[in-house]
Structure 1
Amino acid sequence: MELIETNLKGCFVIQPKTFSDSRGALTKVFHSPTFKELGLRVDFQEEYYSVSSKGVVRGLHFQVPPDDHVKCVSCLNGSIFDVVVDIRTSSPTFGQHYSTVLDHRNPTLLYIPPGMAHGFLSLEEGSIFLNRTTTVFSPSCDSGIRWDSCGIDWPEMEYIVSEKDQKMPALEDYNSPF
């Protein structure tokens, strides 16, 4: 696996190796010894996936302390426009974001440290998003900011946004505990 730095400290793109032959392909998306060697956390406690229609926006989500966590995300089918926003008030990149396209045809992971809001836009019908976290989902620590409040240049299309995500506070109105 290759670790690629982003403009946000502690947020990395992970490029795993894919092995292909006449039968198809195999990609290892987690390998504890390699993650440890790269200085990444390996104590993941929960993993889930979502299936989204084209145009679905999910986010920008995070968990606040004491159940904040590292996320390691990837796209298993289709493609997503994936975004991370730094909400660590003492960070020199506070309020800045990193975006990339995660596509199952070019397997890539995004490693997201605590103190960052995360979200994505499904670019295709039936995109499958995989999320691995170092803490279990905690409703009392669940939080977020509005997906359209951070200066992100989202791909233009008809957006489908949940009522919950529409009601999130804007970044400028959010009092970050990070």
Structure 2
Amino acid sequence: MEIYTTMFDEVFIVETKAFGDHRGYFMESFRVDKLAELGITNSFVQENQSLSVTAGTIRGLHYQLAPKAQAKLVRVLSGEILDVVVDIRRQSPTYGKYIQVLLSEENQQQLYVPEGFAHGFCTLRDNTVVLYKVNEYYSPEHDRGILWNDPDLGIQWPVDTPILSDKDTKHPRLYQADNNF
């Protein structure tokens, strides 16, 4: 495993190595000891998987409030996404800034998103399957979100008319969001 930094010191791209032959490939996609060597020491307690049938589906921007805030380790099993991470830590010099990372079944990269960041993604292919581990259980009372197209964030999504859940159309803008980071 190798780790690459991003604009946010705490957000990492994790690259795993696949060993292939005529049958396909083998890859260690998750090892606690290797991640710890790279500085990721979370104890992941839940794993979530989503299927987005149609390209242009946006999920997010989601986060949970402390004390149930979640760190995530995100990967794509099938298809491709444009993953978006927004710094929502009010005292951070990068508050309100975002990064975008392309994750796909081909590049087999993973994205580590710590607590204090909102997360979302847009599917770029039909039938995209995303898998992510979290270090805190889902808590409906702490579940929050930010409007996917908040003009203050200026996220450049690769789709003009996305497919959204009803919930994701009703999130507040960042400056209105319930946030204890």
| Common fold by TM > 0.5 | yes
Q: Where do 4+ consecutive residues of structure 1 move more than 3 Å?
A: none
Which residue in the other structure is 1:115 paired with? 116
- Deviation per residue, 1:31-61 (Å, 9 max, x gap): 1110111110241000010000211110000
Q: CA RMSD in A?
A: 1.0
Which residue in the other structure is 1:139 paired with? 140
SS in 2 for 1:132: strand
> How big is the shift at 1:156?
2.7
What's the % identity of the aligned pairs?
Answer: 39
SS in 1 for 2:34: helix
1:168 counterpart = 2:150: no
Aligned equivalents of 1:12 and 1:24: distance in 2? 27
> How big is the shift at 1:158?
3.5
Which residue in the other structure is 1:156 paired with? 159
> How big is the shift at 1:124?
0.6
Q: Within 5 A, what are the aligned runs for 1:22-171? A: 22-52=22-52, 53-149=54-150, 150-171=153-174
Deviates more, 1:161-170 or 1:150-159: 150-159
Aligned equivalents of 1:65 and 1:175: distance in 2? 11
Aligned equivalents of 1:57 and 1:128: distance in 2? 13
Structure 1 contact 82–102 (Cα < 8 Å) conserved? yes
> How big is the shift at 1:99?
0.3
SS in 2 for 1:110: strand
SS in 1 for 2:141: helix
Number of residue pairs matched?
Answer: 178
What is the TM-score with the length of structure 1 in the denominator?
0.96
SS in 2 for 1:139: coil
Structure 1 contact 27–107 (Cα < 8 Å) conserved? no
What is the TM-score with the length of structure 2 in the denominator?
0.95
Amino acid at match of 1:50: S
Amino acid at match of 1:96: K
> How big is the shift at 1:126?
0.5
Q: Structure 2: any 5+ residue segments left out of the alignment?
A: none
SS in 1 for 2:155: coil
Aligned equivalents of 2:130 and 2:178: distance in 1? 28
SS in 2 for 1:34: helix
